[in-house]
Amino acid sequence: MSEKLAVSGGTPAIPEGAVKSWPPIDDLDREVVLASLNGDNHAFGPNCTAFQNEFADWNGNRFTLTTNSGTAALHLCVAACGCGAGDEVLVPAYSWSSSATCILHHNCIPVFVDIDFDTMNLDVERIEAAITPKTKAIMAVHLHGLPVDMEKVMAVADRHGLKVIEDACQAHGATFKGKKVGKWGHCAAFSFNQNKCLCSGEGGMFVTDSEEMLERAQSLWSFGETRTPSQDRDYHAYAVGWMYRNNDLTAAFGRSQLKKLDGYLAQQRANAKRLTDCLRDLPHLLLPSEPEGCEHNWYNYTIRFDMAALGHGGDASDFRDKIVAAMNAEGVQTGVWQKFILPVMTVFQAKNGYGQGCPWTCPLSQPVDYSPEQFPVAQKHSDTHTGMTVPLRAPNGPEVAELTAAAIRKVMENLDQLEG
């Protein structure tokens, strides 16, 4: 059906105000945040300790340490795994930048592995080829909330004596073979940034079942002191530490949102299912999949455009950008999540993290190759995708998924209006 696209002056398919923002805030949030404010401990306070305990219960981990960001928790994972100067950590070529920069933070070298096109996750079949005598750990990123095949990752790690870090910053509540993410590897990191499925503004959680890993993380988390603020401190820096502690107001907010998380995730799954049902018959769209054994949390619903089927032989990302702009004009909150694969980012191409080429010039490191041609799948994904978060989040229901699908359909059926 021919309809004038909003990008060329037509009426937007999604009325203004139809999509509600994330996260929903109710009286419980107001009550607990205000109670923290009215208390007298605003730094690492009682809400932080309670948040750690409640998150440990929710995810089923023995130990948790709450941080001021997911990136801080990821860095603590690198440290907890015993990675040090010159050690290599394998990381997917397509992720958030800090999945890889947290490795540099500990004087270690990121080594990229291409992704699998269908799952958009680390290609588990390519891990082994990237292992060298310097490899110490594998960072498995559960991208968009879809779990990596952790049985395969753990099998490779066991064969080579490697540690496994789970970057679960996007994957709260996702399961692989019925077991939650953050329970598979040696340690894991969650983020509570506003965009994540559990929002406390900013914040993060380091989780592990190993007491030794907890102690290593703790020893760097608060100025390199070995005692936590709730213990009797001696104000002595035993190691190069950071200030990665969470604070009471943020943790209070996180606690109240955690009480609602299972409900949010159920809504998100129902919305994603509705969107998929509505889009399934549209040609030229590659919809996200949920392989056998994986339960997605639908943090980000990512679509790829089939450029070959669209008959588009030119620059894929240019054409994708045009389609996305047309969808945005219809009121679809979608966008390109990562325009750049990790290895092409300047921080890696320049190989100059700390000046004078460090840590790549450290005598303990070995040369590493970041030429982008090694990661064709990540590049193809990056050039052809568009992602979506808020339209599928609570309090939006399946009716918003339907509206979103109708707007996407309108654009895809009138692509001729975008030519030229």
Contact call for residue 204 and ligand PLP (CB under 6 A): yes
Q: At what angle do helices 70-80 and 211-221 cross, to 10 degrees?
A: 120
Contact call for residue 22 and ligand PLP (CB under 6 A): no
89, 132 contact by CB (below 8 A): no
Separation between Cα atoms, residue 190 and residue 142, nearest integer Å:
11
Binds ligand PLP (CB under 6 A): choice among 95, 119, 365, 396? 95
Binds ligand PLP (CB under 6 A): choice among 96, 176, 264, 298? 96
152, 140 contact by CB (below 8 A): no
Helices (H), 161-210: none
Is position 136 annotated as part of the catalytic site? Answer: no
Minimum CB distance to ligand PLP, residue 308 (Å): 29
User: Token pair 């995708």 is at which residue?
Assistant: 385
User: Beta 163-167 vs 135-141: how paired, if at all?
Assistant: parallel
Minimum CB distance to ligand PLP, residue 294 (Å): 17
Separation between Cα atoms, residue 405 and residue 281, nearest integer Å:
11
* Binding-site string for ligand PLP from residue 116 to residue 155, where x marks contact by CB under 6 A and - marks none: -------------------------x--------------
Separation between Cα atoms, residue 228 and residue 237, nearest integer Å:
12
Nearest Cα neighbor of 168 from 72, 74, 267 is 74
Structure token digits, residue 5: 């696209």
* Binding-site string for ligand PLP from residue 356 to residue 395, where x marks contact by CB under 6 A and - marks none: ----------------------------------------
Binds ligand PLP (CB under 6 A): choice among 90, 169, 279, 392? 169
| Positions in 99-118 near ligand PLP (CB under 6 A) | 99
| Positions in 314-353 near ligand PLP (CB under 6 A) | none
What is the phi/psi pair of residue 136, to 5°?
A: -120, -30
- The three-state secondary structure class of 323 is helix
Catalytic residue among 163, 180, 196, 410: 196
Which residue is nearest to ligand PLP, using beta carbons?
Answer: 70
Closer to ligand PLP by CB, 254 or 331: give it. Answer: 254
User: Which residues are the active-site residues?
Assistant: 196
Site residues for ligand PLP per CB under 6 A? 69-71, 74, 95-96, 98-99, 141, 167, 169-170, 191, 193, 204
